[in-house]
Structure 1
Amino acid sequence: MLAVIVVYGVINAVIQTVIQPRIVGQTVNLSQTITLLSVLVWAIVLGPIGALIAIPLTIVVRAILVEADPRMSWLRPLLADRAGAARTDAAGADAARDTPHA
């Protein structure tokens, strides 16, 4: 019985601290570190509900503070995972190339 509890605990810890933040981060274009830190910060700020809605809150904060203000573009690589940052940069370059300038 003790072995089952230990194995379950180890598997659960690996899934929740390594695998889950990586998959969620890739899905919403946040780095794994930011994903984990956002859960901790929002849990401190709002309690258990903050831990549950941490990723959506972080995306809203990123959209309001970083995406809306061109002067904050230096923060984008810090927040995004590398593959997502490359996709975002490529999409931004394509949009800038296609947008007519007055």
Structure 2
Amino acid sequence: MIHLTESAATHIRNYITNRGKGEGIRVGVKTSGCSGLAYVLEFVDNIDQHDQIFENFGVKIFIDPKSLVYINGLEMDYVKNGLNEGFEFNNPNKKGECGCGESFTV
């Protein structure tokens, strides 16, 4: 299960509306950084038959089976803090992260 906060869902929904197309977003992981894994976000225009699909606040989240193992239970929030804004990931599977916070390990 993947959870979006209302703030994250609103941000994603606005981007899809402005983009003019899209089924939702894909959340996944890739090998990267000094800790091993990094989050990947992309718009979904074509649904893969193997994707797991979750929906929060009217936004569809697509996860490929390989990534779901690492991010099952993930909560995504969208926060604005001063001039900075972006997604924050609360992953219950994370065991550690690199010093810059760009990658994590499970």
TM-score range, shorter chain: 0.3 to 0.5
Task: Tell me the TM-score normalized by structure 1.
Answer: 0.32
TM-score, normalisation: structure 2: 0.31
Larger Rg, first or second structure (1 or 2): 1
Bigger proportion of residues as strand: 2
| Higher RCO (CA-CA < 8 Å; seq separation 6+) | 2
Q: Which has the higher helix share?
A: 1
